[in-house]
Amino acid sequence: MTFSIRDIQARCAALGHMPGPIDGMMGPQTRSAINDALKDRDGRRLPDLFHPSGLHRIHGHWTAGAKGIIDLELRHYNEVIDHDGRVHSGKFPATAQATYRVGHAASHTLNANTGAIGISVDCMAGAVERPFNKGSAPMTWAQVEALAERMAYYCGAFDIPVSRYSVLTHAEIQPTLGIRQRFKWDICWLPDMEKPGDPIVVGDRIREMVKEKMEMPWAA
C-alpha cells in the first residue's frame, strides 16, 4: 500500500491535524501534522494513520447520464444510485480502490482514484452549468438521501472521518486537494437550488446529511 504525500496531508487534515496547504510537498508543517496524528492514534509508522484497507476518501459524483443505469457507469463508479434512490453495485467493489490500476478498479476522478471510493448519482443528462439548465434528468432528493446514506456507511466501515478532506464531491477535489480536474461541477447543485453554488458550500450540506445518517441507530 502506498500513499502520496498529498493523500497523507489530506488524511492528517481529515484527522484534525492541519498540515498547511495540501500541496504534495513534504515540509515541516506536514511532518509535524504527521507526528501529531500518529501520537493521537498511538501509531508509529505512516500506514498507522490509515485504515488497514487502504481506503481513506469518498468522492461523490453525478453521472451526467439520462435515467437508466448503463454498463459504462457501473465500470466508472463503485456504486451508482438511480432516480428512485436505489443503489446499484458497480463492476468493482469499493475495496478494489485500495491499489488502483486501470481495468481493476473504478476510474472516477482524474489522478485521484487510489484509496478513494466513487459513488455516483445517475442524473443530470444535458445539464449546463452556466446559464444553468438542469437538463432532462435532474437529481432527485431520493438520490441525495441515498448518497449521504452510502457515504455514512463507508465512513463507518473504513474509519473515514466526515470532513472536507475525506468526504468530497468531485467539484471539491481541485479546490481542496489541488488535483486538477477538467471543469467538473458535480455536485454543485442540489434539487432545492436555483442554480449551482460554491462547491465547498454544497459539499458542506452533503456532509451535514452524512453526519445525520451516521447518528441513526442502525449506523454502528
Options 9-17, 43-51, 138-146, 179-187: segment touching Zn ion (CB under 5 A): 179-187
Looking at residues 28 to 67 of the shown chain, list those that interact with Zn ion (rule: CB under 5 A). 61
Q: Whole-number minimum distance, CB 182 to Zn ion, in Å? A: 10
Q: Which residues have C-beta within 8 Å of that of residue 194, sequence separation ≥ 6?
A: 132
- Report how far Cα 49 is from the mean position of its chain's Cα atoms: 18
Nearest to 116 by CA among 58, 45, 32: 58
Q: Whole-number minimum distance, CB 185 to Zn ion, in Å? A: 9
Options 9-17, 67-75, 126-134, 182-190: segment touching Zn ion (CB under 5 A): 182-190
- Of 22, 113, 186, 206, the residue at the interface with Zn ion (CB under 5 A) is 186
- Give the end-to-end CA distance of the chain in Å, rounded to a whole number: 27
Options 29-37, 67-75, 85-93, 170-178: segment touching Zn ion (CB under 5 A): 170-178
Number of residues that bind Zn ion (CB under 5 A): 3
Angle at 92 between CA 150 and CA 64, to 5 degrees: 65
- Of 56, 170, 207, 213, the residue at the interface with Zn ion (CB under 5 A) is 170
Dist. CA 20–CA 50, nearest whole Å: 19
Residues in the chain: 220
- Binding site residues, Zn ion, CB under 5 A: 61, 170, 186
